[in-house]
Amino acid sequence: MKIYPLNIILDELFAWLEFIFKNIPGRVGIFLRNIFYSIIKGKVLYISVGNSTVIKNIKSINFEKNIKIGPNCFIDSTNGYISIDQYSAFNEGCHINASIGGKILIGKKVIFGPKVIMRTANHKYNVKDKYIQDSGHNIKDIKIEDNCWVAGNVTILGGVTIGSGSVIGAGAVVTKDIPPNSIAVGVPAKFIKQISYE
């Protein structure tokens, strides 16, 4: 009989516990996930996590208070770092990925529509005599400042800063910086106008 090292056994135990907790529905599930992730993080978290959401490497994720994460989201900071400031909220199916490296920094009271994608790494595709899969990545940080609204199905690529108070229209692909208090739409996302406040 093969004997496995303790770290492999603990990883397997964690995977089973995470699977159980992430699939408990309703308010009870949200409450239990908060306790579970607080224990893993080693401090009390004030987050609401919907069912079927996956959070990988929570130790390199900074959650401020009152973060809401909808169901079926995926958050991975395996080789990078993610910081989410207070009162920010993610709708269903968001994908926040710093798994290869880099940082994703999200400000205060930022709201995300369903199925928003953020990824710090893009595949290199121009390395001679190598398959794209074997060519590595270009890694760049993503920063979204306070009070932004990122609508559904938006993709935000590495190297982008979205200025405070901005709105990104549904389905946009953000490849360049967006200035503060702007509305940007399209593929690639382009500034269309400054927000006029009442």
**Catalytic residue at 137?**
no
With 70 as the cut, is the pLDDT of residue 1 above it? Answer: no
Write out pLDDT tens, residues 41-99: 999 999 999 999 999 999 999 999 999 999 999 999 999 999 999 999 999 999 999 99
CA dist., res. 172 & res. 190, Å (int): 9
Residue 185 banded pLDDT, cuts 50, 70, 90? very high
With 90 as the cut, is the pLDDT of residue 119 above it? Answer: yes
Residue 8 banded pLDDT, cuts 50, 70, 90? confident
- Average pLDDT value for residue range 16-27: 90
Question: Which of the following is catalytic: 65, 123, 124, 193?
Answer: 123
CA dist., res. 48 & res. 74, Å (int): 14
CA dist., res. 103 & res. 118, Å (int): 11
Share of the chain above pLDDT 70, in %: 98
Assign domain 46-193 one CATH number from 2.30.40.10, 2.160.10.10, 3.40.50.970, 3.40.50.720: 2.160.10.10
- Average pLDDT value for residue range 1-24: 83
Find all residues with CB under 8 Å of 145, minimum gap 6, and list them.
Answer: 107, 161, 162, 163, 164, 165, 166, 180
Give this prediction's pTM.
0.90
